[in-house]
Amino acid sequence: MPAERPFALVWFRRDLRLQDNPALHAALVSGHPVLALYIHDPRPADGWALGGANRWYLHQSLLALQQDLAEIGVPLACLKGDAEGEMKGFLTRRAVAKLYCNRVVEPGQGEVEADLCALAERGRIEVETFHDDSLLPPERVAKKDGTPYKVFTPFWRHVSDLLQRNGVEQRLFPRPRPAADPLPADPLEVEKLGLLDAHPWHRKLQAYWSPGESSALKAFSRFLQERIDGYDDWRDFPARQGTSRLSAALHFGELSAARLYAVCQGRLAHKADEGARAGIRRFLAEIGWREFSRHLLHAYPRSPAISLNGRFERPGAWAQDHNDRRLRAWQRGETGIPLVDAGMRELWESGWMHNRVRMVAASFLTKNLGIHWRQGAAWFWDTLVDADLASNTLGWQWVAGCGTDAAPYYRIFNPQLQARKFDPAGEYIRRWLGDGIEPAPLVDLGASRDRALQRYQAVIRGASG
């Protein structure tokens, strides 16, 4: 029986797409038949096991990727378990000529990449890695003194300058052509990863999301046609369809940040209307915040668990590290504060929350209730389909006032004023709360604000004393 012809192996991770995929493109032009692999580690070394909503989205996205790969004649193998052990077993079972993968910018992922690449090389398998998860590799962006940026505006100015000089076009590849003989897709290959909970709570998410590269590309196209020009005017109004809702697609790599940046820059260059240009620039800045979060996480890998401003880890920084009754009320959308409750119920029902409302809900938990930001970050991690370690960490530390480039400790969102400004007709609140009677507020907004200011001022005085 003839020996198996060696494969070019593409290790898929946070890049679940065919278009603009450097690792897949290199494998396809290598001259070897191509095999795709996804490994799900339910107990990752960094401790950040995927949350429930994230797992549902990943399951659906992998099914879509499997179908897309089958159309170009590439089979997808799925493995569950310790990444190094599973890869070692796979490489001993299959003939692999070269391993291709795209980097992931997260704590521990670099070590995983290095270990698996070293494992492949010990087996005399060539390895090629590519940068893909952010616009620029974090190690390429630093201040003149070599330290990482901690403030967004100079960071984004520097990154924008580098991108203007070097561009991202070299990372953009067309979608591969269908194979003459496409393969059948076997959904049981994805099912064996066990990403879905036995209780079918996640079925409700199907009404709100259609994971996969094709859906993501269509959503981006609609956003460009219908909303990006008015993005600066309407992105803060939760009752409107003013945002892109592409965060989950970006997190799982159904879309590349490089393509979003390149397309928006091209559109900006050809738009004369200043209002439309403002909308495009604002959206580019949001791509910049995503970039900033990745670079910060790379520089401060402990930040998902520890406040970057260490004074907020001292006794007295929080009224309570944990309060079960108040935390549960916040999680269930039963705080008696309509905008907060509407947002929390949107999250529970759809796996997503409008960004303006995320900030208000986070401010209420950390400042009015005095509960540590880690409790809120953990809840978002489990319930958001777009749960992203870098963005989630930056967002919570920003609102809590304890991160880099954070909102000042004395900035406390007033949910009532925010509702009047950004949901003036009450459409968003009615959509998620209906016309039922709200419970009495957990706390008085004014009194709890005063307590938060006193608490933070005491922490700062203690730090300077």
What does the pLDDT look like over 80-110, one tens digit per residue? 999 888 998 999 899 999 999 999 988 888 8
Place of tokens 């049981």: 188
Mean pLDDT of 366-370: 93
Q: What is the Cα–Cα distance from 340 to 423, expressed in whole angstroms?
A: 12
pLDDT over threshold 80, residue 46: no
Question: Looking at residue 465, what is its pLDDT?
Answer: 39
Q: Give the pLDDT band of residue 1 (cuts 50, 70, 90).
A: very low
Among 265, 299, 333, the domain-final residue is: 299
Is 396 annotated as catalytic?
yes
CATH of the domain at 344: 1.10.579.10
Chain-centroid distance of CA 182 in Å reads 32
Is 289 annotated as catalytic?
yes
Catalytic residue among 330, 373, 379, 432: 373
Mean pLDDT of 196-207: 93
Q: Which residues pair with 98 in a beta bridge?
A: 8, 126
* Residues 126, 140 within the same domain: no
Task: Kindly report the length of the chain.
Answer: 465
Domain span holding position 64: 7-132
224 located within any domain: yes
Catalytic residue among 234, 289, 313, 334: 289
Question: Looking at residue 358, what is its pLDDT?
Answer: 98
72 phi, psi to nearest 5 deg: -105, 10
Q: What is the Cα–Cα distance from 191 to 40, expressed in whole angstroms?
A: 11
What does the pLDDT look like over 128-180, one tens digit per residue? 999 999 999 999 999 999 999 999 999 999 999 999 998 898 899 999 999 88
User: Measuring CA to CA, which residue among 25, 38, 36, 30 is closest to residue 126?
Assistant: 30
* Residues 165, 109 within the same domain: no
Is 334 annotated as catalytic?
no
Question: Looking at residue 320, what is its pLDDT?
Answer: 65
Question: Looking at residue 321, what is its pLDDT?
Answer: 56
197 located within any domain: no
Mean pLDDT of 347-367: 97
What is the pTM (predicted TM-score) of this model?
0.95
Catalytic residue among 126, 313, 355, 438: 355
Is 348 annotated as catalytic?
no
CATH of the domain at 12: 3.40.50.620
User: Measuring CA to CA, which residue among 191, 184, 174, 178 is closest to residue 62?
Assistant: 191
* Residues 163, 288 within the same domain: yes
Answer yes or no: are the C-beta atoms of 337 and 288 closer than 8 Å: no
* Residues 290, 317 within the same domain: no
* Residues 360, 450 within the same domain: yes
Catalytic residue among 286, 313, 349, 438: 286
pLDDT over threshold 90, residue 45: no
* Residues 138, 128 within the same domain: no
* Residues 263, 335 within the same domain: no
Question: Looking at residue 407, what is its pLDDT?
Answer: 64
What does the pLDDT look like over 55-76, one tens digit per residue? 999 999 999 999 999 999 999 9
* Residues 31, 127 within the same domain: yes
Is 286 annotated as catalytic?
yes
Among 132, 148, 165, the domain-final residue is: 132
First to last CA, the chain: 79
Chain-centroid distance of CA 300 in Å reads 17
Tally of domains within the chain: 3
Mean model confidence pLDDT for the chain: 92
Is 209 annotated as catalytic?
no
* Residues 138, 286 within the same domain: yes
More confident residue, 256 or 309: 256
304 located within any domain: no
397's enclosing H/E stretch is: helix 389-400
184 located within any domain: no
Q: What is the Cα–Cα distance from 294 to 134, expressed in whole angstroms?
A: 7
* Residues 251, 287 within the same domain: yes
Catalytic residue among 156, 318, 352, 432: 318
CATH of the domain at 278: 1.25.40.80
Mean pLDDT of 17-46: 94
Q: What is the Cα–Cα distance from 38 to 220, expressed in whole angstroms?
A: 25
